[in-house]
Chain A
């Protein structure tokens, strides 16, 4: 599926902003039609966003957000949002890969923005052992603070959260870093290069796919879950054992 989507904007070299020129005019037109039906009610007919009376946004402007942003938001099901909330959660995508590509082509045609990353940089097999190690260092420096050391996610202020990275495709992780969706900051290709991004993703995927050597991992949530296990399983189990030891068992009167 990744190849399919990437194919549409293949000639767009990842770090450089891409324009709509790379997509066919048909794609752009199809995307525009989809946009008008599914997105315009919040983002406005010309994708410039709609302001609320208080100066906030129903939907922010999409001018210049680029194809990567659309591919991430729509491809992970975050857009269209089901209801207004502090944060758009990941859910089953509403649009097909083809429709997502068309939407992306339309938004990219409005103004230059980050393109969907080149397949070369989301091919994790290309990362060597050293690359993975460096990816790990970058991951711990830039990502674990919010997303947790195994990418299990974490809490943010006011009911928001950094989502789990489990089951998220390499392409979508890369797009999130490039575009900075919602509250997430941007990690531009000029600072964290596309290779760096690939290495980071390779590390995350390796850590998430490797065995939980020690057994049931409790979701990678650390000592809170360990404490729960200590009390429920440890103390619970051994208290049951103690009750058994102290129990008197069947008794009869001697005949």
Chain B
């Protein structure tokens, strides 16, 4: 094939005229031009040095709270002096190369990437000699046992990585328990149905998030707190009861039109609270999955597959909203064991 292609090349319609005649730069023919360029370049470098001095002055003279054009004056000064100096230096060096350094184009010949046939043959010979002398082919027992040992080296490497993390567990459970109060996020105040108007949204958490022990220390903090929040955060909404169409078994999960859903999107876990009080749709700001909270958290748009899990609500003795159980469905993004875990949850219920 390649020979065939090559033969077609000789019929070139236009012959290569060869490298064109060299044309000179003004600086090459006129020494005064060259000197002018030289002065210009030198000035660029001088101004660059001055700008760098300016940087140092800025460092000590400008207060970090000062502003310029509504921006940090420090950041502006540092960046403009440093950037200006670097740009001038760069432009000066390039200008030097373009205008004053040697200008004749040079021609260098290429050589094929491949080595010579003799070299290749020699390498093949060497490899063959090496393999033969090692007895790699003749003594399969040594060879195979070595390969086996090499393979086994991978075992410690894998085993050592075992403690990167615990084995998966507890994905299906959250910190919600029967009787736990719903509290407002940040302030930690419990919520009564009378606090909520139709069309209201409360970004809530389980009470345990703000619970303190006898010493006044938070029960959950640090990583544990974040892990708890990443599954147990909720939104509580109130709609007109007649707008809600609860599915079978969910008729008494709400209190006078107050429903509680997981705040964690079932797609990839963004917290969602973009609730439209008139359409009852809830939008995820990350990937635009949209759930209908009046219709059991059903997915009405976007890439999420599972409906938003709903938390059954009740009231405690003091009239505050409480959970009647943990989420009966798995919260947060899907994972391979989801179907199995969901079955376990169903059996428990």
* Chain A interface residues toward B at CB < 8 A: 134, 137-138, 141-142, 145-146, 154, 156-157, 160, 162, 180, 182-188, 190-193, 196, 211-216, 244-245, 249-255
Instruction: Tell me how many residue pairs across A and B have CB atoms closer than 8 Å.
Output: 116
Residue in B closest to A114 when the chains form the complex, CB atoms? B197
Cα–Cα distance between A186 and B240 once the two chains are bound (Å):
13
Q: Closest approach, in angstroms, between the C-beta of B296 and any C-beta of chain A?
A: 18
Cβ B29 vs Cβ A252 within 8 A: yes
Render B244-288 as a binary contact track against A, CB cut-off 8 A, 1 for contact.
000000000000000000000000000111111111010101001
- Is residue B147 contacting chain A, with contact meaning CB distance below 8 A? no
Q: Which residues of B contact A162 (CB under 8 A)?
A: 274
- A-binding segment of B181-189, B210-218, B305-313, B328-336: B181-189
Given A141-B186, A186-B201, A191-B200, also A180-B277 (CB < 8 A): yes
Cα–Cα distance between A184 and B274 once the two chains are bound (Å):
9
Cβ B195 vs Cβ A157 within 8 A: no
Q: Which of B162-214 contact A (CB under 8 A)?
A: 184-187, 189, 191-192, 194-203
Q: Give the number of residues in B that approach A within 8 Å (Cβ atoms).
A: 49
Cβ A255 vs Cβ B184 within 8 A: no
Q: Which of B79, B94, B185 contacts A141 (CB 8 A)?
A: B185
Cβ A211 vs Cβ B71 within 8 A: yes
- Is residue B38 contacting chain A, with contact meaning CB distance below 8 A? no
Cβ A185 vs Cβ B200 within 8 A: yes
- Is residue B76 contacting chain A, with contact meaning CB distance below 8 A? yes
* Chain B interface residues toward A at CB < 8 A: 23-26, 28-29, 67, 70-72, 75-76, 79, 94, 98-99, 184-187, 189, 191-192, 194-203, 237, 271-279, 281, 283, 285, 288, 290, 301
Cβ A142 vs Cβ B185 within 8 A: yes
Cα–Cα distance between A160 and B198 once the two chains are bound (Å):
21
Cα–Cα distance between A236 and B91 once the two chains are bound (Å):
17
Cα–Cα distance between A195 and B44 once the two chains are bound (Å):
58
Cα–Cα distance between A249 and B203 once the two chains are bound (Å):
65
Cβ B25 vs Cβ A185 within 8 A: no
Cα–Cα distance between A211 and B278 once the two chains are bound (Å):
37
7 example contacts (A-B, Cβ-Cβ < 8 A) are as follows A138-B186, A145-B273, A145-B285, A196-B187, A215-B71, A215-B79, A250-B26
Q: Which residues of A contact B197 (CB under 8 A)?
A: 180, 186, 188
In the complex, besides A145-B285, A185-B275, 14 extra interface pairs with C-beta distance below 8 angstroms are A141-B185, A141-B203, A145-B272, A160-B276, A182-B278, A183-B276, A183-B278, A185-B277, A211-B67, A216-B71, A249-B99, A251-B23, A253-B23, A255-B29
Cβ A254 vs Cβ B24 within 8 A: yes
Q: Which residues of B contact A251 (CB under 8 A)?
A: 23-25
Among all A-B residue pairs, the 8 with the closest Cβ atoms: A185-B201, A190-B195, A251-B23, A183-B276, A186-B200, A213-B72, A141-B185, A211-B67
Q: Which residues of B contact A157 (CB under 8 A)?
A: 276, 279, 281, 283, 288, 290, 301
Q: Which of B79, B203, B283 contacts A156 (CB 8 A)?
A: B283
Residue in A closest to B97 when the chains form the complex, CB atoms? A245
Cα–Cα distance between A255 and B288 once the two chains are bound (Å):
71
Cα–Cα distance between A146 and B271 once the two chains are bound (Å):
12
SS of B interface (majority):
mixed
Cα–Cα distance between A255 and B23 once the two chains are bound (Å):
11
Given A186-B277, A212-B71, A214-B71, also A249-B25 (CB < 8 A): yes
Q: Closest approach, in angstroms, between the C-beta of B155 and any C-beta of chain A?
A: 43
Given A145-B273, A196-B187, also A187-B200 (CB < 8 A): yes
Cα–Cα distance between A154 and B72 once the two chains are bound (Å):
27
Cβ A211 vs Cβ B72 within 8 A: yes
Q: Closest approach, in angstroms, between the C-beta of A209 and any C-beta of chain B?
A: 10
Cα–Cα distance between A160 and B191 once the two chains are bound (Å):
30
Cβ B200 vs Cβ A188 within 8 A: yes
Cα–Cα distance between A216 and B75 once the two chains are bound (Å):
12
Q: Which residues of A contact B24 (CB under 8 A)?
A: 251-254
Q: Closest approach, in angstroms, between the C-beta of A88 and any C-beta of chain B?
A: 13
Given A145-B273, A190-B195, also A254-B28 (CB < 8 A): yes
Q: Which residues of B contact A215 (CB under 8 A)?
A: 71, 75-76, 79
Cβ A187 vs Cβ B201 within 8 A: yes
Q: Closest approach, in angstroms, between the C-beta of A116 and any C-beta of chain B?
A: 17
Q: Which of B79, B202, B275 contacts A191 (CB 8 A)?
A: B202
Residue in A closest to B23 when the chains form the complex, CB atoms? A251
Q: Which residues of A contact B191 (CB under 8 A)?
A: 191
Cβ B94 vs Cβ A191 within 8 A: no
Q: Which residues of B contact A252 (CB under 8 A)?
A: 23-26, 29
Q: Closest approach, in angstroms, between the C-beta of B19 and any C-beta of chain A?
A: 14
